[in-house]
Chain A
Amino acid sequence: MAVVGLLVLFPISSLIAGSFWSGYPGYPGEWTLKNYLDAFADPLLPTLFINSLVYAGGASLLATLLAVFYAFITARTDTPGRGLLSYLPYIDLMTPALLTNIAWIYLLHPRVGLINNFIGQVFGPDAPVLNIYSLPGMIFITGLNTSSLVYIGIQAAFKSMNPEYEDVSRVCGAGIRRTTFSVTLKLTMPAILSMTLLNFIIVLEVFETPSMIGLPANIPVFMSTIYNAVSWSIPPKTGQATALAVILLMIVLTFTTVYRRYTARVERYAVITGRGYQPNVIKLGKWRYATFLLLMVYAAVLIVLPISLVLLLSFKIFWDPNNLFGDFTLKNYVEVLNHPHLFTAIINSTLFSAAAASILVFLIPIVVYLSRRVKARGASVVENVAMMPQAYPGLVLALGLLWGYITLPIGIYGTAAILVIAYVTRFMPHVTRLFSGVVVQIHQELEESSRVCGSGFMSSIRRIVLPLLRPAMVGAWVYAFIVSFRELSASVLLVAPGTEVISVLLWGLWINGEDRQFAAAIMILVGILALIISTVLLIARLIRARVLLARRP
């Protein structure tokens, strides 16, 4: 708890102090409310708020619908290829949001978008075009992009569910549809709501789509305003940005409190109990081919189309929708592979991300478990503290980390340690949410039974809780590794010579207008990530197989 408190409260207190300080932190100034008064007095604020809520609400809703559908089909039905397809969202997680946005711009740009070009050729030049530069366009990209995160958060709930509730429903005469809606979805609702809430907050802090699509379309949202204030102004308007971020923090804490009250009676949602369970697999009959087709469409839209398009771009000098497979060149790959920092950056990113993911997967289950199980006063506060970084857009949080850690006399500024700390702090809320949905579902009677049988507290944790958490731990590690590997906002402020990471290198290519090299680098990056994640998942499977083998009589 002390570690979580230190990791979170130290940089955030720097930010809060910064929002009430008239000057730049560390420089002369005075305490003031001006930043807040300015934020509230901005005539654009109502527009930003409405746009942001519609955008975040729409994208979260879309992401949840897609994720629930995908998780249900892959976890609970006999759709062909569901085992393999269940890993698809992990591939999507490996693709940076920047890639997805670029891909959809080239697919749905009103003038040069490939899909619009195709529509024009089939239906004539007067056919209506799909315009990515719109609020629905922003919702579509972000909803699609974040559905993988929601999926990873809820799939464990579908996989870990006790089938007896569904059996009872079926025995009582309910059909598949009614059982699914009345029992299965209701029982997984804590995980679904939890991830929807998390996703809503994540979308509020997404800056790629608001800046790449929203700004050219003249659709400002809360985040693009903060991002512009910090990223595009010299001197950066850090006072305004931190004030807006503190307001956002209040909103997030309100949402978190509401959610906790809603899930206060945790036993109501506990579906992993003392009895053995094996989730039911619903036999779909001939409909399984239809669900297979739907999964393939989702996979195509989520992964195949964007990655194919960027792959195509990586071999081109310039975009021409009428000459897709002409003028190919390897120049972009050659230039990227000759980049002086490429290999150092890949190795650094791998090591730092693995370290951050391991720390998170060790630390957060303890935090969530204690928060949910220990009846001591204030125990739940620590989970709220772990959620606090979520309220801060990455770049603003990075400023807090910079301002906080640069003043520490222990000398971690400019080292690899500060990057690992930054990743742990930034992704602590994500991993907390991933675990909280699962811990809620584990009924206390399991541990009580263990203790009645003579096991101590630690033994019960090791033999009961940890094995039940293992799927979530593997998922969380993979998730934390990927998001840390991709992390940009904090990295750009904290890297030093020798600690360069791949996301910063990619960003440098993008902002310098080297978008084709950027596309080539992204493809290399996705390949490396796929290799690492496949290895980790393979190892996890082997360990699981060994454990099962050892348990055989």
Chain B
Amino acid sequence: MPEDYMKRKITRRRAISATGKTAIGAVVGLGVGGIAGYLGGISSQQANTVTKTFTQQVGAATVTATVPGPTVTMAQTVTRTATVVSTLTPLSEIQQKYENAKRERELLVYGSLDVEDFTPLQRSFNSKFPDVQVQYLRGSPSELYNRIKSEIGAKRPTADIVIMSLPNILQMKSEGLLDAYKSRELLAYPGRFFDDRGFWSPVVMLPNASVVNTRLLATTPQSIEDVLQATNRGQIIMHNLLQGTASTFMWGQMKNIIGETRWREILERLAALKPVLNNSLSGVTQAVRDGQYRIGFIAYLHDIMKSAEEGAPVRNFWVSELPVMVTINAGALLKDTPHRNAAELMMDYILSAEGQSIFGNISVRFPTRPGVNAKYSAEAAFPGRRLYLYPDEEIVAEAQSLVQTFRSMGFGT
């Protein structure tokens, strides 16, 4: 069963990536012929046009693409202050969008990213497109969902873009709250990292990892057996998989990768260790960092790395038997967006190499665009491991039955 599933996925992915490769190749050709480089802000010593071939393993598929490198030509526009550079989006298109966006004057982004994480990109965008005032409102996914749903239901759309984790974006897509927009920048991305019809695009990658407190556990677990030892009873904290959110989908998706029998065995043994279920993924790392529990199974890699960089006694690990799971923070245009051009301009910028580079140099965020000039990348964190993106839309539809399954295994009792 898992093999069938994987084959089906691989075929689909290859088809998508083949189209992507053709398109990318065409764009690169055009790029050599005169399409301008990246959206601005690139250091002057890197001003020459270069091309770069990169390969990324996403799930079972390998995506190879040749695109202009992260630093290419700068082209000055004649507009008031904007210097606009792009890799894949024609300069004329950007200029046209900016002219239209000027009339809209503003843009509101709702997002679950920290304000500090979005601010560098927001400032950079504002410096390039000064006649579009970007405002960012941070909220938790449920708060943002309620706002968006209510605003659209009352026919008073306020925000233009929403940035949230993929499971929530898929839910909003299924409820018709999103508008399609497929940026040309998506040509640089692996096929599974964006919606075929353009309803969502990747913003930052959110790899999962397990975390261990190095003071409480001298040896980092290598295998699942190390984690499932009886001595770890009551010593494990994990994200609440009974909520129908990220963990539910991550574990659910894993069933299709490792096979149901093994999956069930691991989870039942884990439940028998009476792990504490925490509603917040970030809270898992906090609790392990402060010595409340030995092992956090699972957390977000960026939280663990950030804590480790600050000197906390934590280390990330991923047991060899389990696939490395990643999800993304996705961005989408909201239905009936009041500032359509400004929103498209922002999405292009977020997806551009420069936008992704800004995210990838924040401590700690992982860009989704392969090959950008960034301090952090998911590939570097898990060298040689395949990254499995979750959730797909089938798993999201199964949320309630998965919760029942996990409950029957003994979680939350």
Seen from chain A, the residues whose Cβ lies within 8 Å of a Cβ on chain B are 24-27, 106, 109, 111-112, 211, 215-216, 218, 228, 230-236, 238, 317-320, 327, 331, 335, 339-341, 399, 402-403, 406-407, 413-414, 492-493, 495-498, 507-508, 511-515
- In the assembled complex, which residues on chain B have CB atoms less than 8 Å from the CB atom of A234? 141-142, 145, 167-168, 171, 244-245
Evaluate contact between B277 and A215: CB separation under 8 angstroms: yes
| Given contact pairs A234-B171, A508-B138, A513 touches B303 in the complex (Cβ within 8 A) | yes
Q: With A and B bound together, what is the CA distance between A512 and B141 in angstroms? A: 12
Q: Mark B281-292, 1 if CB is under 8 A from A, else 0.
A: 011011001111
| Given contact pairs A25-B153, A233-B243, A493 touches B290 in the complex (Cβ within 8 A) | no
- In the assembled complex, which residues on chain B have CB atoms less than 8 Å from the CB atom of A327? 311
Please list the 7 inter-chain residue pairs (A to B) with the smallest Cβ-Cβ separation, ordered nearest first.
A26-B153, A513-B282, A497-B135, A319-B290, A318-B312, A406-B154, A112-B291
Most buried by A among B136, B141, B280, B290: B290
Evaluate contact between B153 and A111: CB separation under 8 angstroms: no
Cβ-based interface call for B256 (8 A):
no
- In the assembled complex, which residues on chain B have CB atoms less than 8 Å from the CB atom of A335? 116
- In the assembled complex, which residues on chain B have CB atoms less than 8 Å from the CB atom of A215? 277-279
Q: In chain B between 84 and 140, which residues have their CB closer than 8 angstroms to a CB of chain A?
A: 108, 114-116, 119, 135-140
**Contacts A111-B292, A236-B146, A496-B158 given; 13 further ones with Cβ under 8 A?**
A24-B153, A232-B240, A233-B244, A234-B171, A235-B145, A318-B289, A406-B154, A406-B156, A496-B137, A497-B135, A511-B280, A513-B282, A513-B283
Cβ-based interface call for B310 (8 A):
yes
Evaluate contact between A406 and B150: CB separation under 8 angstroms: yes
Q: In chain B between 216 and 262, which residues have their CB closer than 8 angstroms to a CB of chain A?
A: 240, 243-245
Q: With A and B bound together, what is the CA distance between A339 and B136 in angstroms? A: 13
Q: With A and B bound together, what is the CA distance between A25 and B151 in angstroms? A: 11
Contact of B143 (CB < 8 Å), options: A26, A492, A496, A497: A492
Q: In chain B between 1 and 41, which residues have their CB closer than 8 angstroms to a CB of chain A?
A: none
Most buried by B among A111, A218, A403: A111
Closest to A233 in B: B244
| Given contact pairs A234-B171, A402-B146, A340 touches B115 in the complex (Cβ within 8 A) | yes
Cβ-based interface call for B147 (8 A):
yes
Distance of A35 from chain B, by nearest CB (Å) = 16
Seen from chain B, the residues whose Cβ lies within 8 Å of a Cβ on chain A are 108, 114-116, 119, 135-143, 145-147, 149-151, 153-154, 156, 158, 167-168, 171, 175, 240, 243-245, 276-280, 282-283, 285-286, 289-292, 303, 307, 310-313, 412-413
- In the assembled complex, which residues on chain A have CB atoms less than 8 Å from the CB atom of B140? 231, 492, 507, 511
Q: With A and B bound together, what is the CA distance between A222 and B138 in angstroms? A: 28
Evaluate contact between A232 and B279: CB separation under 8 angstroms: yes
Q: With A and B bound together, what is the CA distance between A24 and B148 in angstroms? A: 12
- In the assembled complex, which residues on chain A have CB atoms less than 8 Å from the CB atom of B108? 497
Please, could you name 22 A-B residue pairs with CB atoms under 8 Å apart, sorted by A? Answer: A26-B153, A27-B149, A27-B153, A106-B290, A112-B291, A112-B292, A215-B278, A233-B244, A234-B142, A235-B171, A238-B146, A317-B312, A318-B289, A339-B115, A340-B119, A402-B147, A406-B150, A406-B151, A406-B154, A493-B146, A496-B158, A512-B114
| Given contact pairs A26-B153, A340-B119, A496-B137, A228 touches B310 in the complex (Cβ within 8 A) | no
Evaluate contact between A318 and B277: CB separation under 8 angstroms: no
Most buried by A among B115, B137, B142, B303: B142
Q: With A and B bound together, what is the CA distance between A116 and B147 in angstroms? A: 43
- In the assembled complex, which residues on chain A have CB atoms less than 8 Å from the CB atom of B307? 318
- In the assembled complex, which residues on chain A have CB atoms less than 8 Å from the CB atom of B141? 234
Contact of B137 (CB < 8 Å), options: A211, A319, A495, A513: A495
- In the assembled complex, which residues on chain A have CB atoms less than 8 Å from the CB atom of B158? 414, 496
Evaluate contact between A319 and B291: CB separation under 8 angstroms: yes
Closest to B237 in A: A216
Evaluate contact between B286 and A515: CB separation under 8 angstroms: yes
Most buried by A among B150, B158, B276, B412: B150
Closest to A25 in B: B153
Q: With A and B bound together, what is the CA distance between A230 and B141 in angstroms? A: 11
Most buried by B among A234, A327, A492: A234
Closest to A327 in B: B311
Evaluate contact between A407 and B154: CB separation under 8 angstroms: yes
- In the assembled complex, which residues on chain A have CB atoms less than 8 Å from the CB atom of B310? 317-318, 331
Most buried by B among A231, A335, A399: A231
Q: With A and B bound together, what is the CA distance between A215 and B136 in angstroms? A: 32
Q: With A and B bound together, what is the CA distance between A30 and B280 in angstroms? A: 34
Evaluate contact between A318 and B313: CB separation under 8 angstroms: yes
| Given contact pairs A25-B150, A211-B279, A236-B146, A413 touches B175 in the complex (Cβ within 8 A) | no
Contact of B290 (CB < 8 Å), options: A112, A218, A331, A512: A112
Distance of B342 from chain A, by nearest CB (Å) = 14
Distance of B181 from chain A, by nearest CB (Å) = 22
- In the assembled complex, which residues on chain B have CB atoms less than 8 Å from the CB atom of A495? 137
Q: With A and B bound together, what is the CA distance between A26 and B150 in angstroms? A: 7
Evaluate contact between B138 and A402: CB separation under 8 angstroms: no
| Given contact pairs A228-B243, A318-B312, A513-B282, A497 touches B137 in the complex (Cβ within 8 A) | yes
Contact of A109 (CB < 8 Å), options: B139, B292, B313: B292
Distance of B137 from chain A, by nearest CB (Å) = 6
Q: With A and B bound together, what is the CA distance between A265 and B146 in angstroms? A: 46
- In the assembled complex, which residues on chain B have CB atoms less than 8 Å from the CB atom of A507? 140
| Given contact pairs A26-B153, A339-B116, A497-B108, A232 touches B243 in the complex (Cβ within 8 A) | yes
- In the assembled complex, which residues on chain B have CB atoms less than 8 Å from the CB atom of A341? 115
Q: With A and B bound together, what is the CA distance between A238 and B175 in angstroms? A: 16
- In the assembled complex, which residues on chain A have CB atoms less than 8 Å from the CB atom of B280? 511, 513
Distance of B301 from chain A, by nearest CB (Å) = 12
Q: With A and B bound together, what is the CA distance between A513 and B146 in angstroms? A: 23
Evaluate contact between A413 and B156: CB separation under 8 angstroms: yes
Evaluate contact between A511 and B245: CB separation under 8 angstroms: no
- In the assembled complex, which residues on chain B have CB atoms less than 8 Å from the CB atom of A414? 158
Closest to B153 in A: A26
- In the assembled complex, which residues on chain B have CB atoms less than 8 Å from the CB atom of A233? 142, 243-245
| Given contact pairs A406-B154, A513-B285, A318 touches B142 in the complex (Cβ within 8 A) | no
Q: With A and B bound together, what is the CA distance between A289 and B360 in angstroms? A: 62
Closest to B283 in A: A513
- In the assembled complex, which residues on chain A have CB atoms less than 8 Å from the CB atom of B136? 497
Evaluate contact between B291 and A218: CB separation under 8 angstroms: no
- In the assembled complex, which residues on chain A have CB atoms less than 8 Å from the CB atom of B146? 236, 238, 399, 402, 493
- In the assembled complex, which residues on chain B have CB atoms less than 8 Å from the CB atom of A235? 145, 149, 171, 175
Evaluate contact between B147 and A508: CB separation under 8 angstroms: no
Most buried by B among A228, A232, A319, A341: A232
Evaluate contact between A493 and B291: CB separation under 8 angstroms: no
Distance of A419 from chain B, by nearest CB (Å) = 14
Closest to B412 in A: A218
| Given contact pairs A111-B291, A112-B292, A403-B150, A216 touches B139 in the complex (Cβ within 8 A) | no
Q: With A and B bound together, what is the CA distance between A232 and B245 in angstroms? A: 8
Contact of B276 (CB < 8 Å), options: A216, A232, A236, A497: A216
Q: With A and B bound together, what is the CA distance between A238 and B277 in angstroms? A: 23
Q: With A and B bound together, what is the CA distance between A443 and B167 in angstroms? A: 62
Distance of A305 from chain B, by nearest CB (Å) = 18
Evaluate contact between A508 and B115: CB separation under 8 angstroms: yes
Distance of B120 from chain A, by nearest CB (Å) = 11
Q: With A and B bound together, what is the CA distance between A216 and B151 in angstroms? A: 34
